[in-house]
Amino acid sequence: MIAGTERTPLPRDFFDRPVLEVAPDLLGRTLVRHTASGPLELRLTEVEAYDGPNDPGSHAFRGRTPRNEVMFGPPGHAYVYFTYGMWHCLNLVCGPEGRASGVLLRAGEIRVGADLARKRRISARYDRELAKGPARLATALDVGRALNGTDVCDGPEAPLSVLMGTPPTPDQVRSGPRTGVGGDGAPHPWRFWISEDPTVSPYRAHQPRKRRT
């Protein structure tokens, strides 16, 4: 149990735990993003856990590379990667240094700075869609590779930080398979979300890519 108020920053010890403990415990926490245009705050409503060497779905499953280097570093740092040649996704590194586990931030409710998010997410019809999915979340919060390695425990004025927020009650938390993960990692129920929250993204099973003939 962490002592403090909704505005208390989460300490590094929060992230220095097994990923399957950290992931559901991130629900309801407040992610703060400071930009040149002003701050944005998002209440996390959906996340996915990736357990490094024990997880075929993890970028770190096959070991350390220049791309995933941050995942092997200290807990409480941001791991940002570029996917499909189009989008960025934001993860928070957790577990002991060298363990390479992390939590993908999949969705949330923007409670501060929605006007800034709308300028970046002009295709969103409603505010509940501004950060509904990992690429949309990163886009809405202006998260790119420049933030890879950012220490989210470096104080409330850091480019990214996480506050205590208001976690859901245990009966509000749901879990199931991760979106788009195939192979041996598909059965793991390591996606966690707040039940009935309209900002949670729809589940999509893995679709194998068709080979060109």
Instruction: Let me know if residue 204 belongs to a domain.
Output: no
Instruction: Let me know if residue 23 belongs to a domain.
Output: yes
Stated pTM of the model: 0.93
What pLDDT digit, counting tens, does each position of 53-75 carry? 888 888 888 778 888 899 999 99
Domain count across the chain? 1
Instruction: Let me know if residue 159 belongs to a domain.
Output: yes
Which range marks the domain in which residue 83 is found? 12-194
Instruction: Let me know if residue 207 belongs to a domain.
Output: no
What pLDDT digit, counting tens, does each position of 156-212 carry? 889 999 999 999 999 999 999 999 888 878 889 999 999 999 999 999 887 666 555
Give me the CATH number covering residue 152: 3.10.300.10
**pLDDT at residue 10 in the model:** 97
DSSP string spanning the chain? ---S-TTPBPPHHHHSS-HHHHHHHTTTPEEEEEETTEEEEEEEEEEEEE-GGG-TTSTTTT---TTTGGGGS-SSBEEEEEETTTEEEEEEEESSTTS-EEEEEEEEEEEE-HHHHHHH-TT-SSGGGTTBSHHHHHHHTT--GGGTT-BTTS-TTSSEEEE---PPPGGGEEEEPPTT--GGGTT---EEEETT-TTSPPP----PPPPP-
What pLDDT digit, counting tens, does each position of 107-155 carry? 999 999 999 999 999 999 999 999 999 999 999 999 999 999 999 999 8
Instruction: Let me know if residue 58 belongs to a domain.
Output: yes
